[in-house]
Structure 1
Amino acid sequence: MNSLLRTPINMAGKQSSPSKLEIDIQFASTAIEEKVLTIASQAVIKKWVKAAVHLNGLITLRFVNAVEGKKLNFAFRSKDYATNVLTFPYELSNKTLTADIIFCLPVIQKEASEQNKTAKAHLAHLIIHGCLHAQGLDHENDKEAKKMESKEITLLTSMGFANPYAPI
């Protein structure tokens, strides 16, 4: 997949091979930032990322509104709707990861409500989910889905969240 904006969002002025995991959090607007920060602080969000990623590298998390989410989903997946999370991995080796992960806050909030989950629990799940995608995990077939879901459940329960796949 081509990079999101000609070059990865997170690459401006950064070295290509950082010696640790750097996490950049971006917000499409002040309103999105305020809403996200009522759900979880930047420190908590970074903690969730670090729980899921044990590689050096650079991950950018960008929180967007439905308009930007729909535009990106159409541009990169030819889907004409906003989705909860989009992952753009640029580099993955056994030591290094570089990726952008886009979160559409209105979709996340709507899904949390529909699934009778807190926005915090659903956001934690989707951050873990996006980080696992960035590391090459997928859910395109049953075997891959079981492996990915198992990792998600293990990580989330270790952080005090319920199994996101358990029946309500």
Structure 2
Amino acid sequence: MNKHSATELELDLQVACDNQHLPSAAHFREWVLTALPAGRQDAELTIRLVDEAESAELNAQYRGKNGPTNVLSFPADLPAELNLPLLGDLLICKQVVEREAIQQTKALLDHWAHIVIHGTLHLLGYDHINDDDAEVMEGLEIKLLQQLHISNPYTPQCEDSTQNHE
């Protein structure tokens, strides 16, 4: 039995960029489900695919950083007593993901998978602000990507893979 067979995922995929060469909705769904903990019953999130202008604007507004970034995560800030499955929103910049895949000599779909899993983990509360947290998060990413038959994204040629993200 698949670890996600009982997980109800409501995924709102918004395409606000050039839609050529994007992964399928099924890919995004698989990647989010892979990042969710086993036994999770329900999850809701939005993934918005954007161009560099929108990414740069929101990166400046919410993180105080110039330029576009690969992924921004906006966790839902709901009171626990509501017990709602809303995880939050991911904003992913198509051009940055494509450029990073080329720079890091990664297969484009593999890099998309990594960025979606990385962002979903942020929505679940993981972070990489300090070295210990980064080690935990990266280890989990490597494990989850291996389940998808994707190699370690933090190999030497890829060590800058998530340098400019949230």
The TM-score with structure 2 as length reference comes to 0.81
2:145 equivalent to 1:156: yes
| Match in the other structure for 2:3 | none
- Cα deviation for residue 35 of structure 1 reads 2.8
- Cα deviation for residue 95 of structure 1 reads 7.2
Report sequence identity in percent.
Answer: 40
Q: What does residue range 1-168 of structure 1 map to in structure 2 within 5 Å?
A: 20-29=8-17, 31=18, 33-36=19-22, 40-54=23-37, 55=40, 56-91=42-77, 96-168=85-157
Letter in 2 for 1:124: A
| Match in the other structure for 2:161 | none
Letter in 2 for 1:34: Q
- Cα deviation for residue 67 of structure 1 reads 0.6
| Match in the other structure for 2:164 | none
- Cα deviation for residue 80 of structure 1 reads 1.7
The 8 Å contact of residues 87 and 124 in structure 2, kept in 1 or not, is answered as: no
**How many residue pairs were aligned?**
145
Unaligned runs of 5+ in 1: 1-18
The TM-score with structure 1 as length reference comes to 0.80
Q: Distance in 2 between matches of 1:64 and 1:53?
A: 23
Letter in 2 for 1:67: A
1:105-151 Cα deviation digits (max 9, x unpaired): 11111111111111111110000000000000000111100110011
Alignment RMSD (CA, Å): 1.8
Q: Distance in 2 between matches of 1:61 and 1:47?
A: 13
Unaligned runs of 5+ in 2: 1-6, 158-166
